[in-house]
Amino acid sequence: MRAGYNILFVIFFWLSAPYYIWKMWRRGNWRAGLGERFGRYTPEFKAALAGGPVLWLHAVSVGETGVALQLLAELEPRLPGWRFAVSTTTSTGMGELQRRLPARILRFYYPANLAGVIRRAFAAIQPRALILVESELWPNLLWQAQDRGTPVFLVNARVSDRSFGGYRRFGFLFRPLFARFRGVGCQSPGEAERLAQLGFPAAALRVTGNLKFDAAKPEERSGPDVPRLLGQIGVNNKDRLLVAGSTHAGEEAVLADMLPRLRGRFPDLFLILVPRHFERAGAVEQELAARGVSYVRRSGITPETRLATGQVQCLLVDSTGELKFFYEQAALVFVGKSLTARGGQNPIEPAALAKPMVFGPNMQNFASVAQSFVAGQGAIQVQTAAELEQALAELLADSALRARLGERARQVFQNNLGATRRTVEMIMETGRGAF
């Protein structure tokens, strides 16, 4: 079965390679970590792992890196003498690790799911245990861990409807792999039930809650002085800021279309667009210009920048790792990838700041989280662009409504804290003998 899988995967890998290389090139700095993606590591990297057992923790992108950081803070004191290495798949995830991880913890790009590459990665890292965040379940990684007797843990586990169907369809491949998991921390009882149906051992499953609530706890972090930046481009500290976070293609156009109508009713409204992928800034500029929306790019603001009040109506944030600091100044928030794209982005961060928020119908990657905010009257979910505009207008017109929505969101957030501690207890309990 392995041979057949790897033959098909190699064919798929090389057929799709041009597309992924193009994507990496578009995002810039694509050569960074290229060797690591193929299991090639420097002597310095290998030397830093020597001298103690190694825990390898994999976090796909920015959202998962926050979870990884929370876990490491709890695990390090419990595992003295261990070495810790964190991998990520995306350049934005790596940027977050580089900003927030202490130097003693190694960070590297996740190796491609090719049998030889995974073998080289395991030979170099030699992990005593492997922790995967959420849903990174690559067969070659799991086979290599199985061959080496490396216990594998899955934390903040969830499975989308699409993945659930795929795993069931190819159960002959995945069920034996899933049966070898030592410990699994699930976001909800529903997720635990779905994972049990896929073949994860009942003895390994624990309902620990969603780690992203803990990862979003307000903390002291150095970042941009957003009020100063806004003042430089003519934004008054009493203006109402609509922050659209982690937007995807099509959503910026929707917001740009409605901005003149909303500003007609609320002249002090200012739009802050934060695309999920900063390399899309050029395309977003075209959408804004086509609709006559005056704007400035975040990267274009220098210490000398001084714009008059009303000179621009929108700030386009073409940077990474700064969304939280713009959320802090928001009067209300739109959570992206939920209206014109599927999956949704993280609604927990604005909730932790007691910000009133609106999101679209497509919150599949945060289904239970979004449901908890809507049920707790801490968020408004809309189905169409027209409904979005109506909801934003109602919130802009009623400061008391905004305050109530934000406070209810924060209450839902606070009610869901504690998943990190429960997850670490699960790892230590189910991993007896490994730690």
Start-end of H helices in 359-418? 367-375, 385-397, 399-415
Annotated active-site residue 134? The verdict is no
For residue range 49-85, what is the model confidence (pLDDT) as tens digits?
988 999 999 998 888 998 999 999 999 999 999 999 9
pTM recorded for the entire structure: 0.84
Q: Which residues of the chain have pLDDT under 50?
A: none
Q: Tell me what pLDDT residue 142 has.
A: 97
Q: Which pLDDT value is given to residue 29? A: 58
Please name the residues in contact with 316: beta carbons below 8 A apart, sequence gap of 6 or more.
Answer: 273, 275, 281, 284, 285, 288, 295, 296, 297, 298
pLDDT of residue 21: 67
pLDDT value, residue 27: 60
Specify the pLDDT at position 357. Answer: 98
Backbone Cα Rg of the chain:
23
Q: How far apart are CA 256 and CA 382, in angstroms?
A: 18
**Candidate list 64, 96, 191, 287, residue with the active-site label:** 64
CA–CA dist 382, 360 (Å, integer)? 5
265: helix, strand or coil: helix
Domains and CATH numbers, the chain: 26-217+418-430 (3.40.50.11720), 226-415 (3.40.50.2000)
Tokens of 41: 């590591």
C-alpha of 111 from chain center: 19
**CB-CB neighbours of 391 under 10 Å:** 18
